[in-house]
Amino acid sequence: MNEWEFNVLEDRPTLMSVAIDGVEVRTGDRVRLRPRPGGDVFDLALADKIATVESIEQDYEGKSHVCVVVDDDPGRDIGLMRQPAHRFFFDATEVEPLNEAERAAMPAATATTILIAGIGNIFLGDDAFGVEVVRKLADRQIPSGVRVADFGIRGFDLTYALVDGADVTILVDACPRGGSPGDLYVIEPDVSSPTNEAGPATVDAHAMNPIAVIRAAQAMSGTLKTKILLLACEPLTLGPEEGQMGLSEPVADAVERAVPLLESIVNRLLAGEWPLQTKS
């Protein structure tokens, strides 16, 4: 796929639902896979599986396709991060909404769902703070309902993640706020009306601007259902123009403090609390 084709697909409006057999199916709904006869080996393996709708997308001709992540796939978290091999596309005629009895028999959803999104550029010194924090979290025990993802500079992927919407999204990023290098801040950004700011709500495919991502997600969905927190670290350096690998000493130390701080925030959120702005 060339860059022009990629841009055309990215510019297509995101579908929030599709009608299947008279039932409105939305992202997050569970469906049964019914591949048409004569498919490939994946169709045979996935037939009759229960899956969760990750997104609903359109091709060049405007035809709807349902992207799903299979519930019993051991790599389903990878699929939820929009990575290949664990996301599967089906025509709307190849998925079947679960009936009322099947939905009632499904395990109850976690009361609060949380996405922890590490963002940053590993080639810009302390900008890699968020990426390093989520790498550390990968070695920890994560509560049910909490997803940890390294988005790096993939602004489009984070935009779609915000649209799909966990109850709370915690962005982890380096952010200069005038403090001492390594200071940590937990902030609830004011995103009540970002689309009213000057300029179009666009995302650079090769960079990560959290405010632009939030604005684009709001433009796509109208109203974000996810609450947003920012765990920010005061950087010492973002490196010279030619780039720089590795964190400065105070920010590397902050990574170690950020992990238990994030775990504390998650526990408070799961307990129904909403943290206020703090500094450590």
Which of the two residues, 215 and 117, has the higher pLDDT score? 117
For residue 77, pLDDT beyond 60: no
Question: What average pLDDT does the segment 64-86 reach?
Answer: 66
pLDDT by residue (tens digit) across 27-53? 778 888 988 877 677 778 888 888 888
Matching CATH number, 15-105, of 1.10.760.10, 2.60.40.1180, 2.30.30.140, 3.40.50.2000:
2.30.30.140
Distance from CA of residue 166 to its chain's centroid?
8
pLDDT bucket at 207, cuts 50 / 70 / 90: low
Which pLDDT score, from 0 to 100, does residue 128 have? 92
Across the chain, what does the average pLDDT equal?
A: 77
Which pLDDT score, from 0 to 100, does residue 193 have? 52
Which pLDDT score, from 0 to 100, does residue 76 have? 54
Q: Could you state, in order of their start, the residue ranges of all structural domains in the chain?
A: 15-105, 114-274
**pTM score, whole prediction:** 0.58
pLDDT by residue (tens digit) across 113-149? 888 989 998 988 999 999 999 999 888 888 877 888 8
Question: Within a 10 A sphere around the Cβ of 60, how many other Cβ atoms?
Answer: 9
Question: What average pLDDT does the segment 212-216 reach?
Answer: 80
Of the listed ranges 83-97, 222-236, 255-269, the least confidently predicted one is 83-97
Which of the two residues, 57 and 31, has the higher pLDDT score? 31
**Percent share of the chain, pLDDT over 70:** 76
Which pLDDT score, from 0 to 100, does residue 250 have? 94
pLDDT by residue (tens digit) across 256-266? 999 999 988 88
Highest CATH level, class, for 114-274: alpha beta
